[in-house]
Amino acid sequence: MRITVSGPPGSGTTSLAKYLARRYGLTIISAGEVFRQLAEERGMDLAAFGALAESDPSIDRVIDERQKEIGERSDDIVVEGRLSGWMVENADLKIWLTASAACRAKRVAGRDAVVEEAAVQQTEQREACEAARYRAYYGIDINAITPYHMVLNSEFWTADELGAIVDTAISFLKRQPSSHPPGIC
């Protein structure tokens, strides 16, 4: 099974991806983690590294191409990242998570050990920076949900509760004779 989990910063994509990996024995590929590691290696915070990525398209392209290549040729994988639903075209299940800006900022503040006001500003800058890069590099409107099979608001459920919802979808997918069920349309 090939699953993608996407959403804006702080929406819970990493938590859901980890749940799915544990539950189904999947390997995780995380674009966000790779981006964070690259920023840390260069001694930069995410905002500064994002600004660098705006002027150096090779940073995003390396991460995105690697995610696409691994995701499309691997089985038993969950690919987590803002563009994974767009990049891994042959995924069996593509999930988009969302939550209010306030909720996401609170999560980011807790995760990154920053005050909430700073998290709001950093998150807004990061989202604007990424949206501009994705539109310029790939012609993708990151706010469009067209490639996704499921859109879930993570503000109302824990990672395990979201996982239970996704478990239901996976159980139906496993009953289908092909990896791309026809749906009702």
* Average pLDDT of the residues in 154-181: 86
Radius of gyration from C-alpha coordinates of the chain:
16
The pLDDT tens digits for 72-130 are 888 999 999 999 999 999 999 999 999 998 898 888 888 877 888 888 888 888 889 88
Q: Supply 38's token pair.
A: 């690259």
Residue 2 bridge partners (DSSP): 77
pLDDT at position 57 is 84
Of 94, 137, 100, give the one whose Cα is nearest residue 120. 100
pLDDT band of residue 149 (cuts 50, 70, 90) is very high
pLDDT at position 153 is 96
The pLDDT tens digits for 2-59 are 999 999 989 999 999 999 999 999 999 988 777 888 888 889 987 788 788 878 888 8
Q: How far apart are CA 185 and CA 181, in angstroms?
A: 11
Phi, psi (rounded to 5 degrees) for 170: -65, -40
For the chain, domains (ranges, CATH) are 2-174 (3.40.50.300)
pLDDT at position 40 is 87
Render the burial of 31-69: b for 16+ CB within 10 Å, e for the rest.
bbebbeebbeeeeeebbebbeebeeeeebbeebbeebbe
Judged on CB neighbours under 10 Å (0-12, 13-18, 19+), 148 is: buried
